[in-house]
Chains A and B, each alone.
Chain A
Amino acid sequence: MTDLKQLRRSLAVLGGIGVVAVVVAGCASSSGGGSSKSNSKGPLVIGASVSLTGDFSDSGKAVKRGYDLWASTVNANGGVLGRKVQMKIVDDASSTTQVVTNYQNLINKDHVNLTFGPFSTLLTIPASRVAKRYGYAFLAPAGGGPDVFKQNLDNFFFVQPAPTTQSGNVFANWILSLPAADQPKTAAYAELDDPFSAPIAESLRAKFEAAGIRTVYKQVYPAETQDLSPVMAALVAKKPDMIIGGTQSNDAYAQVKSLVQLKYSPKFMYQSNGANDPLNYPDKVGAKNTEGIMSAADWFPGSTAVGSAAFTAAYIKAYGGTAQQVDDSSAEAYSVGQLIEAVAKKTGKIDNATIIKSLHSGTWQTLLGSLSWSANGSPSGEFNLVQWQKSALVPVFPTTIAKATPQHPKPNWGG
């Protein structure tokens, strides 16, 4: 009697676990039959996992806007090889576990035809490995930290002009092109400890130290640092001519805010990221305080690269605002789509093997200029130097793309 009840009880437990397993398995078989739909008919489904919540959500949403915008633009022109593009964008909450699950689901559950990359190096690495396993080309508009390329994946393409660590080189080129008397004598570095920000500043530091510019201060601060004033106070005490911020977004704003409060304006100021965000930067640091600050960008308002005018017009039509407020992360994401279109046009085919093979040879025109890749997916171009002048972000170097001459020394805070 009791035995029977105990058995029933244990069956209930097992049943509970079993039901869950069966439900999962059921989902598997119900969508298992869809694997054959990836042939040339029907829409071209493209999957991407983007951080819509969590630490990277600001940039993640800009990436999503770029993907969506490209899809609607290409669909308005009849799609890719006659197939309508359908974006399936899911959220990874800035978590590595979820990003693996998401690409697994996109590839093996929803059987998307192509995959586009997430935002951030932290997420790109695990995601690109999942894509590699199933032979998917992996075009990432963001997340080009050094470790991404060390993986030597042949399916991976970083859709920016240069690996992230080298994005600051253009600033060094400009500084070192100045007459010796105008060059800064001392420099201070404040760097965010993450896989893509600190390395940019470190790469600059190596170049400047080699050129004889003395480092008077260097500090790496952790990502969760809320209060940068102790760091900036110590930095200001060294009175550097030039301040280099290896920044991401919020910390870039905090650096400027602290410097304004400390009433210290250096002759040169460069921030690797954050300062190139035309939408949020003036809002967060005060439009007047932006004057003279430099950063690097691959795309900028008024760029003459292929499709730029159409992109800008479409962006404003879809999301409002002005050309000045278009985030370059959106342009990078849009460029990923442009590459797909270009491959389809050139080869007449749109499958992963063709994309991988095609992109490894030749140069390709995008919003970001012409791009080409080495075997590990690292691009071989240069970024552009941009500067805030009269509350607008303008390209100032190299001279081939410059719309204004770089201004130095940087004016005092508040213009």
Chain B
Amino acid sequence: MHAFIQGLILGLLTAGVYALMASGQTLIFGIMNVINLAQGAMVILSAYISYQLFKSFGIDPFLAIPIVTVGMFVIGVAVQLLFLRPLKREDRAELSLLVTFAIALLIEGIMSITWKTNYRSINTSYANSSWTVFGYQITLVRLWACVLSLVALGLLYVLLNKTRFGRAVRATVQNPESARLLGVESDRVAALGFGLGSATAAAAGSVYGLLYAFYPGSHYDLISLLLSIVVLGGLGSIGGAMVGAVVVSTSSAIVASTISPAWSAMTFFVILIVVLVVRPRGLFGSTARGAI
């Protein structure tokens, strides 16, 4: 029982970070019908940037988030303009899988040259601090990571629901054709949306670097994890991504601490397959186009 609850706590705390990464991916899909396999690489790239900021200038990774976010937003917009916009609309869905995978490889190559291929970790003074609450261990970094992710997700919610840009995005997600007729510049929304998706990767990446050691190839593990989360929740649904993150993260942490970590990945893959076969559009995906 102790192991079960400890696993549950860990899972819930980690879920916030996963939700943040996944929200960007699901947003990009919602806007452009593009499954972004480079989201994991962007997360790792952000982790490296915040590692460098910490190492060279002593900037705390949590405080570095605004800088990294702006940087990744620009990179995201550039990627969309350079590599995704030229794709023709009719084969964008299929080709984007390959194009974004190539982008992931490109980022991996650049990271390998810049930072070499050995493991890095960001060791702040508080990296190992933790509290014991009723015999359960809660690490400071994880708690902060979770809080911060929730704040970032809150900001994203406000951005999408209370601003003009947000309304344009939501209109595009629901129906790109009529959005265009209503005067939404879909190309601009797509570029900014991709930038926004990358920005969430930036925030998540800075936190990721604090939690785990990483190397340029770490993004491969994130691809399957993120895909599972967004597909489970329903492609294009941010709320779904959050639920998906909680399901994936808690189920794997509980299985890891009570049975064996060897079976933890299996758990959410099985959940995913069952959900998809019963509800091919995921838990919260609508049968028509997605809703945010």
Check whether chain A touches chain B (CB < 8 angstroms): yes
Chain A interface (Cβ within 8 Å of chain B)? 52-55, 57-58, 61, 193, 219-222, 224-231, 233-234, 237, 249-250, 253-254, 257, 260-263, 280, 284, 286
The closest CB in chain A to the CB of B127 belongs to A257
The closest CB in chain B to the CB of A254 belongs to B213
Q: List 28 A-B contacts (CB under 8 A).
A: A53-B112, A57-B117, A57-B215, A193-B262, A219-B261, A222-B262, A222-B265, A224-B265, A225-B264, A227-B14, A230-B3, A230-B10, A230-B264, A231-B256, A231-B261, A233-B3, A233-B7, A233-B257, A237-B6, A257-B127, A257-B128, A261-B129, A261-B137, A263-B137, A280-B118, A280-B119, A284-B121, A286-B123
Q: Is the CB of B261 within 8 A of A221?
A: yes
Closest beta carbon of chain A to B235's beta carbon, Å: 24
For chain B, residues 206 to 224, give those with C-beta under 8 angstroms from any C-beta of chain A: 211-213, 215, 217, 221
Query: Which residue, of B132, B137, B221, has the highest number of chain A Cβ atoms within 10 A?
Result: B137
Within 8 Å by CB of A221, from B217, B253, B262, lies: B262
The closest CB in chain B to the CB of A251 belongs to B213
Q: Is the CB of A220 within 8 A of B130?
A: no
Contact of A286 with B128 at beta-carbon distance under 8 Å, contacts A53-B117, A226-B212 already known: yes
For residue B139, CB closer than 8 A to chain A, the reply is: yes
For residue B88, CB closer than 8 A to chain A, the reply is: no
Scoring B residues 93 to 137 as 1 if CB is less than 8 Å from chain A, else 0, what string do you get?
A: 000000000000000000010000111010100011110100001
Q: In the bound complex, what is the Cα–Cα distance between A309 and B258 (angstroms)?
A: 50
Q: Is the CB of B261 within 8 A of A249?
A: no
Q: Chain A contacts of B129 at CB under 8 A?
A: 261
Q: Is the CB of B257 within 8 A of A227?
A: no
Q: In the bound complex, what is the Cα–Cα distance between A254 and B127 (angstroms)?
A: 12
Q: Which 7 A-B pairs have the closest CB atoms?
A: A230-B257, A230-B256, A57-B117, A221-B261, A260-B128, A261-B130, A58-B118
Q: Is the CB of A249 within 8 A of B119?
A: yes
The closest CB in chain B to the CB of A54 belongs to B217
For chain B, residues 256 to 280, give those with C-beta under 8 angstroms from any C-beta of chain A: 256-258, 260-262, 264-265
Contact of A224 with B221 at beta-carbon distance under 8 Å, contacts A53-B117, A233-B257, A237-B3 already known: yes
Q: Is the CB of B213 within 8 A of A250?
A: yes
Q: Is the CB of A234 within 8 A of B14?
A: no
Chain B interface (Cβ within 8 Å of chain A)? 2-3, 6-7, 10, 14, 112, 117-119, 121, 123, 127-130, 132, 137, 139, 211-213, 215, 217, 221, 253, 256-258, 260-262, 264-265
Q: Chain B contacts of A280 at CB under 8 A?
A: 118-119
Q: Chain A contacts of B10 at CB under 8 A?
A: 227, 229-230, 233
Q: In the bound complex, what is the Cα–Cα distance between A222 and B266 (angstroms)?
A: 12
Q: Chain B contacts of A222 at CB under 8 A?
A: 261-262, 265
Contact of A234 with B213 at beta-carbon distance under 8 Å, contacts A220-B262, A222-B265, A257-B128 already known: no
Contact of A253 with B130 at beta-carbon distance under 8 Å, contacts A58-B118, A226-B221 already known: no
The closest CB in chain B to the CB of A249 belongs to B119
Within 8 Å by CB of A284, from B130, B213, B217, lies: B213
Q: Chain B contacts of A237 at CB under 8 A?
A: 2-3, 6
Q: Is the CB of B130 within 8 A of A55?
A: no
Within 8 Å by CB of B212, from A52, A227, A230, lies: A227
The closest CB in chain B to the CB of A225 belongs to B261
Q: Chain A contacts of B258 at CB under 8 A?
A: 234
The closest CB in chain B to the CB of A236 belongs to B137
Q: In the bound complex, what is the Cα–Cα distance between A284 and B212 (angstroms)?
A: 11
Give the total number of A-B pairs whose CB atoms are below 8 A apart.
95
Q: In the bound complex, what is the Cα–Cα distance between A57 and B119 (angstroms)?
A: 10
Q: A227-B14, A284-B119 are in contact. List 20 more A-B contacts (CB 8 A).
A: A53-B117, A225-B261, A226-B221, A227-B253, A228-B261, A233-B3, A233-B10, A233-B257, A234-B257, A234-B258, A237-B2, A237-B6, A249-B119, A250-B119, A257-B128, A261-B139, A262-B130, A263-B137, A284-B123, A284-B213
Q: Chain A contacts of B7 at CB under 8 A?
A: 230, 233
Q: Is the CB of B132 within 8 A of A263?
A: yes
Q: In the bound complex, what is the Cα–Cα distance between A233 and B6 (angstroms)?
A: 8
Q: Chain B contacts of A57 at CB under 8 A?
A: 117-118, 215
Closest beta carbon of chain A to B111's beta carbon, Å: 11
Q: Chain B contacts of A228 at CB under 8 A?
A: 261
The closest CB in chain A to the CB of B224 belongs to A224
Q: Chain A contacts of B215 at CB under 8 A?
A: 57
Q: In the bound complex, what is the Cα–Cα distance between A227 and B7 (angstroms)?
A: 11
Q: In the bound complex, what is the Cα–Cα distance between A23 and B132 (angstroms)?
A: 67
Q: Chain B contacts of A286 at CB under 8 A?
A: 123, 128
Q: Chain B contacts of A234 at CB under 8 A?
A: 3, 6, 257-258
Q: Is the CB of A55 within 8 A of B262?
A: no
Q: Chain B contacts of A253 at CB under 8 A?
A: 119, 121, 213
Closest beta carbon of chain B to A325's beta carbon, Å: 14
Closest beta carbon of chain B to A94's beta carbon, Å: 9
Closest beta carbon of chain B to A223's beta carbon, Å: 10
Q: In the bound complex, what is the Cα–Cα distance between A55 and B119 (angstroms)?
A: 10
Q: Is the CB of B117 within 8 A of A52?
A: yes
Q: Chain B contacts of A219 at CB under 8 A?
A: 260-261
Q: In the bound complex, what is the Cα–Cα distance between A99 and B132 (angstroms)?
A: 48
Closest beta carbon of chain A to B104's beta carbon, Å: 15
Q: In the bound complex, what is the Cα–Cα distance between A231 and B7 (angstroms)?
A: 9
Q: Chain A contacts of B112 at CB under 8 A?
A: 53
Q: In the bound complex, what is the Cα–Cα distance between A230 and B7 (angstroms)?
A: 6
Within 8 Å by CB of A261, from B3, B121, B128, B261, lies: B128
Q: Is the CB of A233 within 8 A of B117?
A: no
Q: Is the CB of A230 within 8 A of B261?
A: yes
Q: Chain B contacts of A263 at CB under 8 A?
A: 130, 132, 137
Q: In the bound complex, what is the Cα–Cα distance between A372 and B30 (angstroms)?
A: 64
Q: Chain B contacts of A227 at CB under 8 A?
A: 10, 14, 211-212, 253, 256
The closest CB in chain A to the CB of B135 belongs to A237
Closest beta carbon of chain B to A375's beta carbon, Å: 36
The closest CB in chain A to the CB of B13 belongs to A229
Query: Which residue, of B6, B112, B132, has the highest number of chain A Cβ atoms within 10 A?
Result: B6
Q: In the bound complex, what is the Cα–Cα distance between A222 and B260 (angstroms)?
A: 9
Closest beta carbon of chain B to A84's beta carbon, Å: 30
Q: Is the CB of B217 within 8 A of A262?
A: no
Q: In the bound complex, what is the Cα–Cα distance between A58 and B215 (angstroms)?
A: 10
Q: In the bound complex, what is the Cα–Cα distance between A221 and B256 (angstroms)?
A: 9
Q: In the bound complex, what is the Cα–Cα distance between A292 and B176 (angstroms)?
A: 63
